[in-house]
Amino acid sequence: MEQTILEYGRLTDRQKLEAVDLFLEGFRHFLTFSKDQELKKKLLFEIFDPALFKCCLEGEKVLGLIGLATNEVRPLNFKKESCIKYFGKFKGGLISSQMNAIFQKPVVKQKDELYIDVLVTGSDARRKGIGSALLNHAFSLESYSTFYVEVFSNNQPAIKLYEKNGFSIEKCEKLSLMRFLGAGYPIKMVRKTH
């Protein structure tokens, strides 16, 4: 069956929920602010950037998700009003400020640089070219010539995927706190097309 890549904003509500489920499958360990999965789903459904999140579909099913960050905007904005709506004024405000301290921090400086903020495929869709298809979609965006991604050293399948798609290691942060938490150390990778 043929695969298509669509912006999150063009998906049906059911497909958007599939995309949110994929995100939670891959990044649950970063969203420890609540144990209520349904509330987190509702929040993410609302705060994904409709243009910067792209989804790979096979037929009507969402198989993969990529979130792209530019020098001006990142794809995940924990909007204060949305966080308050689902988690109350105090906790929602705290979630918004803490999560945006991470997810709204600039990650690239130049207009021709693009950062792969999120890349996840469903467990049943791995090793089927979905990750490469999403990366190739990002590479085809004409305004960008340099691409960055960060991955943890313990995530060897992701490192191999990025290397297969032309990324090379630019920097390793071996003294990172994440290493002591069992995730390995952060590795920044780069791919230049010019």
CATH of the domain at 34: 3.40.630.30
Domain assignment of residue 151, yes or no = no
Which tokens in the block code for residue 45?
Answer: 């459904």
**Could you tell me if 142 and 174 are in contact, meaning their C-beta atoms sit under 8 angstroms apart?**
no
| 178, pLDDT greater than 60 | no
Domain assignment of residue 172, yes or no = no
**Could you tell me if 56 and 5 are in contact, meaning their C-beta atoms sit under 8 angstroms apart?**
yes
| 180, pLDDT greater than 80 | no
| 49, pLDDT greater than 80 | yes
Long-range contacts, stretch 39-45, CB < 8 angstroms, 24+ apart: 39/86, 39/87, 41/17, 42/86, 43/78, 43/82, 43/83, 43/86, 43/87, 44/20, 45/16, 45/17, 45/20
Domain assignment of residue 48, yes or no = yes
| Structural domain of 122 | 3-144
pTM above threshold 0.75: yes
Distance between CA 163 and CA 132 in Å, rounded?
A: 11
Please list the residues that pair with 57 across neighbouring strands. Answer: 4, 62
Domain assignment of residue 164, yes or no = no
- Report the pLDDT value the prediction gives residue 111, as an integer from 0 to 100: 95
| Beta-sheet strands, E only, within 8-104 | 53-58, 61-69
Domain assignment of residue 8, yes or no = yes
Q: How many domains does the chain have?
A: 1
Q: Name the pLDDT band for 41 (thresholds 50, 70, 90).
A: very high
Domain assignment of residue 26, yes or no = yes
Distance between CA 108 and CA 92 in Å, rounded?
A: 28
| 179, pLDDT greater than 60 | no
What does residue 107 show for φ and ψ, rounded to 5 degrees? -120, -15
Domain assignment of residue 190, yes or no = no
Q: Are strands 53-58 and 168-172 parallel, antiparallel or unpaired?
A: unpaired
User: What is the average per-residue pLDDT within 110-117?
Assistant: 96
Q: Which contiguous run of DSSP H or E holds residue 35? A: none
| 159, pLDDT greater than 80 | yes
Domain assignment of residue 152, yes or no = no
Distance between CA 34 and CA 50 in Å, rounded?
A: 24
Please list the residues that pair with 65 across neighbouring strands. Answer: 55, 120
- Report the pLDDT value the prediction gives residue 181, as an integer from 0 to 100: 57
User: What is the average per-residue pLDDT within 87-96?
Assistant: 96
